[in-house]
Amino acid sequence: MTQIGFDLKDAHEALDQFLNGERMERWIGDEKGHPVAYIVAAEAMDEMRNGYSEWLDSQEVHEELAGQPAGYKPWIHSPLATTDRLLPHEPLDEVLAHAMFQKPLGELDERERDRVMYMSIACLLRVTLDPDGQGAVPILMRGHDEDEPGRSLRWQIAYATGVPGLFVRVTANSFLGEEFGILTGSGYRLASGWYSREDASAAVDALGRVLPNADWMRMGPGGFTPKASAALKAVIQRYHQFGLQDDKPEPEPVTDAMPAEGETAKAGVSQ
């Protein structure tokens, strides 16, 4: 919407014009020209607030997922999923339009756009099904950026493991090479610092044995009982970033219900 700018010293004039004339939006700028206030009609403010609220709601993991078994389900986990939209293909569309037709996506006809969409979905399905055996899949995880407005969901590429809801992902690079971390399906990083995917996967397998009742797709830092938190640390001490530590005992399985009502513990063991 068109906005009229006013200097801070003319703020009263801007308000008078708004109240006594056309309800066009106005903004007030400081001495450097940076906006410090906006004058907006009530109905426009309500529309913006409702739109923002709906956007936040679309980013939430909805409660009806609580009864679903753990695992990767893009058609369920995606906040924008519909019956004909199983995977987020849009980020690939523009790139493929140039690669396939040497034209921007907006200049393609309907038949060409359909071909681009089919190719985008095919690319995503290859990542999901991963015919080369690497096990990499796109996982919709909660974002943890402090600047994000509320809880949000972000697609990440990680390696599937034998434990539903636990994934291995490259988390950093150091002078020793790539570092791998273990993430839950909820986006919570349990630990990181392994220098091989195999060692990180061994720790994942141990977590599956030691904490068999954990719902890793929904597990967060507050979902561990004290006993489970201690078991998690014991697993990482034995299945260490530098390999199996034979001097550390194999942790006993914790078969308690998780999370227990009222019991939380700090579970992060980032290295």
pLDDT of residue 58: 58
- Residue 152 sits at the vertex; the CA angle it makes with 148 and 153, to the nearest 5 degrees, is 130
- 12-21 residues labelled b (16+ CB within 10 A) or e (exposed): eebeebbeee
Does the pLDDT of residue 90 top 60, yes or no?
A: yes
Residue 120 shares a structural domain with residue 145? no
Residue 146 shares a structural domain with residue 191? yes
Residue 201 shares a structural domain with residue 120? no
Note whether residue 51 is domain-resident. yes
* Residue, of 213 and 50, whose pLDDT is higher: 213
- Residue 243 sits at the vertex; the CA angle it makes with 237 and 246, to the nearest 5 degrees, is 65
Write out the residue range of the structural domain in which residue 119 sits: 71-129
Note whether residue 252 is domain-resident. no
* Spatial contact of 126 and 116, defined as CB atoms under 8 Å apart: no
The whole-angstrom separation of Cα 158 and Cα 174 is 19
Note whether residue 200 is domain-resident. yes
Write out pLDDT tens, residues 91-148: 788 889 999 999 999 999 999 999 998 888 777 766 555 555 566 777 666 555 555 5
* Residue, of 10 and 24, whose pLDDT is higher: 10
Residue 146 shares a structural domain with residue 237? yes
Query: Which pLDDT band holds residue 179 (cuts at 50, 70, 90)?
Result: confident
Residue 110 shares a structural domain with residue 142? no
Domain boundary among 129, 156, 177: 129
Instruction: Please state the separation of Cα 180 from the chain's center in Å.
Output: 18
pLDDT of residue 84: 46
Domains held by the chain: number: 3
Helices and strands (DSSP H and E) totals, the chain? 7, 10
pLDDT of residue 85: 47
Which of 15-24, 122-131, 132-141, 193-202 is the most confident on average? 193-202
Q: What is the helix, strand, coil percentage profile of the chain, to 5?
A: 35, 20, 40
Residue 169 shares a structural domain with residue 229? yes
Note whether residue 26 is domain-resident. yes
Note whether residue 211 is domain-resident. yes
Residue 213 shares a structural domain with residue 124? no
* Spatial contact of 156 and 144, defined as CB atoms under 8 Å apart: no
Does the pLDDT of residue 10 top 80, yes or no?
A: yes
Residue 195 shares a structural domain with residue 230? yes
Does the pLDDT of residue 153 top 70, yes or no?
A: no
Residue 145 shares a structural domain with residue 172? yes
Does the pLDDT of residue 256 top 90, yes or no?
A: no
Note whether residue 264 is domain-resident. no
Residue 237 shares a structural domain with residue 160? yes
Does the pLDDT of residue 175 top 70, yes or no?
A: no
pLDDT of residue 109: 93
Candidates 161, 116, 106, 121; CA nearest to 137 is 161
Domain boundary among 88, 111, 129: 129
Residue 231 shares a structural domain with residue 182? yes
Residue 163 shares a structural domain with residue 147? yes
Does the pLDDT of residue 192 top 70, yes or no?
A: yes
Note whether residue 265 is domain-resident. no
pLDDT of residue 267: 37
Query: Which pLDDT band holds residue 185 (cuts at 50, 70, 90)?
Result: confident
Q: How many CB atoms lie within 10 A of CB 119?
A: 17
Backbone angles phi, psi at 251, to 5 degrees: -65, 145
* Residue, of 270 and 253, whose pLDDT is higher: 253
pLDDT of residue 202: 94
Note whether residue 260 is domain-resident. no
